[in-house]
Amino acid sequence: MDKPNRILVLFAHPALEKSRVNRQLIRSIQGMESVTIHDLYEHYPNFHINVKLEQELLLAHDIIVFQHPFYWYSSPAILKEWQDLVLEHDFAYGHNGTALRGKKVLSAITTGGTQEAYCRKGHNYFTIRELLAPFEQTAHLCGMEYVPPFVIHGTHQLQEAHQIAPYVESYQKAIAMFRDNTVDWQTLLQHKHLNHYLEHVSNTLESPLHVQ
């Protein structure tokens, strides 16, 4: 097996102590080998982002995960500040800005609204992929590959631990697959969401077992 992919989770949640889903997600990947969790609000309570340190972190990892709740169709403010400051000209983009080329970017987000709300007929009108376009295009401009996002919808309805558990499990599994490079990237890119790909994988895995 190749060297495992090093994963940097840039985590942004301004009130983690009140979070239910994100807290469990982050806990499930804590301490995993080759996975670095970087809690932005904890590091920079006054938004004074250490650009140099952040750029070094990026360079030291292969896959960047933006994990955050979906606020006003985007990320919490600190992640925008992070993008504004860290993705500098001549570092991330521009003629000489090739530092991030070839890395992969994943958005892992939670939304209060249901999946049905994010379509032309729903009250959010746009789809998640449409709304995530700034992240996708930012990745492209920096020469990185934007993989389909991991999305948990309807977090308001997820009150009980047993309702959250399946999502936590599949998130953990996805991170492990990314790290161990056991993802069929071509097939993954055909899906709108990472979640769909994971379902697809577990179905194809299970069926031969059932036959036996």
Partner 1 sequence: MSNENFFFHAFIYLAAAVLTVPISKRLGLGSVLGYLIAGVVIGPFGLRLVGQEGQDVMRFAEFGVVMMLFLVGLQLQPELLWRLRVPILGLGGLQMVANVILLSGVGIAFGLSWQAALAIALILPLSSTAIGVQTLTERGLMKTEGGQSAFSVLLFQAVAVIPILALLPLLTTSPAAVSAATTSSSLAGWQQTLLVIGTVGGIIVGGRFLMRPIFRFIAATRLREIFTATALLLVIAITLVMQIVGLSPALGTFVAGVVLAESEYRHELVSTVEPFQSLLLGLFFLSVGASINFNLVFGQPMLVLGLIVGVSILKSGVLIALAKSFRMDLSQSILFAFALVQGDEFAFVLFSFATQTNVLPEQLAGILIAVVALSMLLSPLFMIAYDRLIQPRLITQTEDRDADEIDDNENAVIIAGFGRFGQIVGRLLLANGYSITVLEHNSAQIELLRRFGWKVFYGDASRIDLLYAAGAAQAKLMVVAIDDSEQILEIVDLTRKYFPHLKILARAVDRRHSYELIRRGVDVIQRETFESALSMGVEALKLLGVRSYTAHRAAQTFRHHDEEALHDMAAMEGDDSALMARSRQLSQDLEQILQSDEQEIKHEVDRAWDILAQQKEKK
Residues at the interface with partner 1 (CB under 8 A): 46, 48, 50-51, 84-85, 88-89, 93-94
* Nearer residue to partner 1 within complex by CB, 119 or 141: 141
Phi-psi region of 94 (alpha: psi -120 to 50; beta: other; left: phi over 0): left
* Shortest Å distance, C-beta 118 to partner 1: 29
Tokens of 126: 């746009």
Compute the least distance from the CB of residue 99 to partner 1, in Å.
14
- Least distance to partner 1 from the beta carbon of 38, Å? 18
Helices (H), the chain: 21-29, 40-43, 51-59, 77-86, 128-131, 133-141, 161-180, 185-190, 194-211
Nearer to partner 1, 58 or 106 (CB): 58
Q: How far is the CB of 196 from partner 1 (least distance, A)?
A: 34
Give min distance, CB of 200 to partner 1, in A: 38
Return the number of the residue (88 or 145) whose C-beta is nearest partner 1.
88
Provide the β-strand partners of residue 38: 10
Question: Which CB sits closer to partner 1, 51 or 59?
Answer: 51
Give the other-Cβ count within 10 Å of 8's Cβ: 21
CB of 51 to partner 1, least distance (A): 6
Q: How many CB atoms lie within 10 A of CB 74?
A: 15
Q: What share of the chain is helix, strand, coil (3-state, %, to 5)?
A: 45, 15, 40
Q: What is the DSSP letter of 107?
A: E
Closest to partner 1 by CB, 70 or 93: 93
Question: Which of 188, 185, 204, 186 minimizes the C-alpha distance to 196?
Answer: 188
Contact (Cβ atoms closer than 8 angstroms) between residue 75 and residue 12: yes
Dihedral Cα 136, 142, 144, 145, nearest 10 deg: 30
* Nearer Cβ to partner 1 (51/161): 51
